[in-house]
Chain A
């Protein structure tokens, strides 16, 4: 069913400015239970921005970690300027002239801005001590270069997220690197900061650096990238010049089939309101949230990373305390102070951070499934293992879980199967409302389809679903209605019919009409303006 395109090097025209800087060939990398990369190749040219495109879990981050010496490939070669190299540690890659702006901020709260920028390669005095004055001065220069007005001597913990991100960028540029990797560098930046970053990238190009640019945002890719490489499920499925491709073609490569087909068509009876939220606010994370969720409905929540969607959902689930506002379940006012209370009221939450908040690695599958339902599987507080296995079997089989036994440690399952266990856990509590936070982030396509199909089944059975997702196809394919959040507030609400990607992205970014035109753009009227 997956149509695999080969990397067509023969088709690739000559690089705009000469010699290859970096060549990866036949790179393979496996983790227990997961094949993250298989036979992957990549080429980087000087003065060129190469976009690395792929869905979550396609293997982009693994590749970045291999390039920066954090992981070592199981097979394959890395050639730098024609010479084969091996990076045993991050330090080796660093010395070879590869620098990266990682997705996770690789920074240290207790150190100063200058120290964060120069950790590991600080200028020294003749005595071998760190030359503070020079370090601060040079940090100032680097920060100035990227247009960041940050005091090099400030302590990092006193900085906001966007400033921290700029420090991370400054850190990457503090070395004279030949190759700069940017892993979703714009995710936490404001519009103005993004523009400055683009200018910086242009300057780096002019200096002849090879840039590997990883992004989900197609407008960004078409704006600054010269070349592209597409990953799907750990494989390289296409590469070439940006000027020779278009939006649709890239999406097809990335997803492996036209967007419309991934998501099962479904019909569900939309009933009366189950959950009504009004005037819901938090001191720092979100404000004035009001919406209604109806029986049998899938309500999508779209927004950029850090728009406050997860924070809102966690407040609804009783993890954090809202400062104002009311929640009604089936018309009754519900004050939810803890997850235990939310579960009793019929609201459950499948978190985005599956490893930390969802699955409990170390406990077997059946114990994960029964954990919130222990009152049903115990008698007078005593465990009844037979009941537990029965319950676990019932719900895991509905989700087509793949595991060796129900006694298997959840931590040894693949991401997709872990997610199925988490969902099974919640279904066993017989909830009314399921909140899914990035339900298919980082899981394989097969499991994704299973999760989507199951969502359809659930709403057909009368449940209501809130789905937080940053994947536009998923939002467009699955939601009955979409709410877009921006900076902690509801920016817009759309009905499903006629909604397109561009409208969503504009609403989420809070910009109007500045973006490069995308194919098949149509403009439906938003139900509720920003």
Chain B
């Protein structure tokens, strides 16, 4: 087992200190049941952050994840409302498929047309939102239009945890395995860390980025279903502005925007940091309006901290004299 890098340990320590500080005044917050609640509440952000992590590792960025989520959410919600008979697992797979397709669209533009990822996803972000409006006619899909099974799945308890949490845990486990133990997962690091060298080792940089976008899209599709079923509503603007929260979770988690650096643990902890802050504010009686400013400060601190850690050391030409010959 490889040791977690210091970044992750420090972030985990920061979260623990935060929890301890809250627990000092409000012990109820750290009750296992409540912590499980916080995790459940952060589950979707975690899944999305895992997707974004892959994209950022390859030195790209996906601003369209939230719009992708909203579009997939709307598609599965409408499908469920029109044809309630479709089994939920099939519906989820369909959502994942649509998400992957949308992600692949981003990826193909990055790979084959070589448009900078930020421009591509800035464009598709507005396109996806527009498509939601077109297919839904601007209407909402409300709770009463969705089937009971559709809404029940994320809440269904299993060994004391809701299904939503289990899905997030499964996503974390699979992603950890994928990113550390498969050639493609390692290729993400290679492509982002040193694209020129990646070519030398026979890795197709564009194709690797394409796959990262596609997989991120698939996770956004999964999140789309989870989001609309959990909140039992789908409309054009769900998860509006969430794209930046996802990136922020990654940045706080120590994933370098310059590519090649980051870990599953970091992404999860970054998202959890958000979750703890968001859930703690009402408990410690601070207006939830503080949340945005706190996360903003956290992002700035995190990026400053990471930049210090990543700063390249000198080439160290001077050696000890005895090592010379």
Taking Cβ atoms with an 8 Å cutoff, the residues of A that contact B are 68-70, 89-94, 102, 104-112, 115, 119-120, 122, 128-130, 132, 153, 160-161, 190-192, 282-287, 306-308, 311, 486-489, 510-511
Q: Which of B183, B194, B197, B323 contacts A130 (CB 8 A)?
A: B183
Please, how many angstroms separate the alpha-carbon atoms of A107 and B196 in the complex?
10
What separation, in Å, do the CA atoms of A90 and B319 have in the docked complex? Answer: 36
Q: Known contacts A70-B200, A89-B202; is A109 also within 8 Å of B260 by CB?
A: yes
Question: Is the Cβ of A90 less than 8 Å from the Cβ of B189?
Answer: no
5 new A-B contacts at CB < 8 Å, known A94-B202, A306-B317: A106-B196, A111-B193, A128-B182, A285-B317, A488-B318
**A111 touching B189 by the CB < 8 A rule?**
yes
Given contacts A153-B2, A190-B323, contact A122 B318 (CB under 8 A): no
> B200 near A90 (CB under 8 angstroms)?
yes
Q: CA separation between A191 and B187, bound complex, in Å?
A: 35
Query: Which residue on chain A has the smallest CB distance to residue B193?
Result: A108
Residue among B181, B198, B314 making CB contact with A132, cutoff 8 Å: B181
Residues in chain A near residue B2, CB distance under 8 A: 112, 153
Would you call B182 and A106 a contact (CB within 8 A)? no
> Do A488 and B201 have beta carbons less than 8 Å apart?
no
Within the assembled complex, what's the spacing in Å between the Cα atoms of A102 and B315? 19
Are A161 and B315 in contact (CB-based, < 8 A)? yes
A160 and B189 contacting across the interface, CB-CB below 8 Å:
no
Residues of the B chain whose Cβ atoms lie less than 8 Å from the Cβ of A70: 199-200
- CB-CB under 8 A for A108 and B202, given A130-B186, A284-B315: no
Contact A110 B325 (CB under 8 A): no
Assuming the contacts A104-B196, A129-B181, asked whether A284 and B325 have C-beta atoms less than 8 A apart, the reply is no
Number of A-B residue pairs with CB-CB distance less than 8 Å in the complex they form: 108
Q: Is B190 an interface residue (CB 8 A)?
A: yes
- Distance in angstroms from B45 CB to nearest chain A CB is 24
166-200 of chain B: CB within 8 A of chain A: 177, 180-183, 186-187, 189-190, 193-194, 196-200
Q: Tell me the residues in window 247-288 of chain B with beta carbons closer than 8 Å to chain A beta carbons.
A: 260-261
- Please state if A160 and B182 are interface contacts (CB–CB under 8 Å): no
B residues near A69, Cβ cutoff 8 Å: 202
B316 CB to closest chain A CB (Å) equals: 5
Any A CB within 8 A of the CB of B158: no
Query: Would A286 and B197 be within 8 Å (CB), given that A89-B204, A510-B324 are in contact?
Result: no
Closest Cβ–Cβ distance, residue B205 to chain A (whole Å):
11
Instruction: Enumerate chain A residues within 8 angstroms of B202, measured Cβ to Cβ.
Output: 69, 89-94, 120
Q: Which of A90, A115, A308 contacts B199 (CB 8 A)?
A: A90
Would A286 and B318 count as touching, CB distance under 8 A? yes
Say yes or no: A119 contacts B316, CB within 8 Å. no
> Complex: how many Å from CA A310 to CA B124?
46
The CA of A510 and the CA of B325, in the complex, are separated in Å by 7
Contact check, A110 vs B261: say whether CB atoms are below 8 A apart.
yes
Let me know if B189 and A108 touch, CB within 8 A. Answer: yes
CB of B203 within 8 A of chain A?
Answer: yes
By a CB distance below 8 angstroms, the chain A residues around B201 are: 90, 106, 119-120
Distance to closest chain A CB from B106 (angstroms)? 24
Interface pair B316/A160, CB less than 8 Å apart: yes
Establish whether residues A110 and B200, one from each chain, have CB atoms under 8 Å apart when the complex forms: no
B204 neighbours in A (Cβ, 8 Å): 89
> A287 is contacted by which of B177, B193, B313, B318 (Cβ under 8 Å)?
B318
Distance between Cα atoms of A155 and B189 in the complex (Å) = 13
A130 and B182 form a contact (CB under 8 A): yes
A128 to B197, CA, bound (A): 24
User: Which residues of B are found within 8 Å of A132, using beta-carbon distances?
Assistant: 181
**Chain B residues within 8 Å of A104, by CB:** 196-197
User: Which residue of chain B is the closest to A307 with respect to CB atoms?
Assistant: B317
| Closest B residue by C-beta to A485 | B317
Are A284 and B317 neighbours in the complex by a CB distance under 8 Å?
Answer: yes
Which residues of B288-325 are within 8 A (CB) of A? 313-319, 323-325
Closest to B197 in A: A106
Residue pair A119, B186 in contact (C-beta under 8 Å): yes
Q: In the assembled complex, which residues on chain B have CB atoms less than 8 Å from the CB atom of A489?
A: 318
Q: Which residues of B contact A122 (CB under 8 A)?
A: 183, 186
CA A307 to CA B197, docked complex, whole Å: 24
- Whether the pair A106, B200 counts as a contact (CB closer than 8 A) is yes
List B contacts of A286 (CB < 8 A).
317-318
CB-defined contacts of A115 to chain B, threshold 8 Å: 186
Contact between A311 and B317 (Cβ–Cβ < 8 Å)?
yes
Chain A min CB distance to B315 (Å): 7
Which residues of B lie under 8 Å from residue A487 when comparing CB positions?
317-319, 324
The distance in angstroms between the C-alpha atoms of A52 and B28, with both chains bound, is 73
Inter-chain contact A110/B189, CB cutoff 8 Å: yes
- Chain A residues with Cβ below 8 Å from B317 are 284-286, 306-308, 311, 487-488
